């Protein structure tokens, strides 16, 4: 009986983790691949394709079909956490960090404006009007 409870708890934890993670379900990947025709949405390449969040995950973007696109490795890496492919100087997404979210009602928090002890930008999310999380 304890094993059954442990397994159920494990499944529940995994479900919660994947619902709030960058994980893109296989079904979503199949739909996006078919929709995008198996080519990079920036340069048209069919080599080294990756699934990219149009609105960056760090800015509140979800892993839904409407927020995923195909980009080649080079375009996806140059886009990083912005909305422009720096290799081709082309807009390939929406960056809520610039104030251009696709669906403002789905965004309830923003990235903390504080810095860590190492001087990097804090990656925590906050709903506080000051723009800082509970650590800052």
Number of helices (H), then strands (E), in the chain? 3, 6
pLDDT at 126 over 80: no
> What is the chain's percent helix, strand, coil content, to nearest 5?
35, 15, 50
**Which of these, 75, 74, 52, lies nearest to 65 by C-alpha position?**
52
List, for residues 27-47, the tens digit of each pLDDT value: 999 999 999 999 999 999 999
Q: How many angstroms separate the Cα of 16 from the Cα of each of 23, 46, 51, 77, 105? A: 12, 34, 22, 28, 22
Q: Model confidence at 75, in pLDDT bands (50, 70, 90)?
A: very high
Residue 103: the pLDDT is 42
Start-to-end C-alpha separation, the chain: 44
Name the one residue in this structure whose structure tokens are 């650590």.
135
Q: What is the pTM of this model?
A: 0.57
Give the pLDDT confidence of 51-73 residue by residue, as tens digits: 999 888 877 788 899 999 999 99
pLDDT at 102 over 50: no
Task: Please report which confidence band the pLDDT of residue 105 belongs to, taking 50, 70 and 90 as the band edges.
Answer: very low
pLDDT on residue 51: 95
CA distance 18 to 57: 13
Q: Domains along the chain?
A: 21-97 (1.10.30)
Work out the percent of the chain whose per-residue pLDDT is above 70.
73
């Amino acid at each position: 009986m304890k094993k059954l409870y442990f397994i159920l708890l494990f499944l529940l934890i995994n479900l919660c983790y994947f619902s709030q993670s960058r994980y893109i379900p296989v079904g979503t990947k199949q739909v996006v691949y078919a929709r995008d025709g198996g080519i990079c949405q920036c340069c048209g390449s069919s080599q080294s394709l990756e699934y990219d969040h149009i609105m960056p995950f760090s800015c509140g973007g979800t892993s839904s079909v409407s927020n995923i696109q195909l980009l080649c490795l080079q375009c996806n890496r140059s886009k990083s956490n912005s909305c422009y492919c720096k290799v081709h100087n082309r807009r390939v997404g929406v960056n809520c960090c610039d104030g251009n979210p696709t669906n403002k009602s789905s965004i309830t928090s923003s990235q903390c404006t504080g810095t860590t002890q190492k001087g990097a930008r804090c990656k925590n999310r906050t709903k506080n009007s000051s723009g800082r999380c509970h650590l800052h």
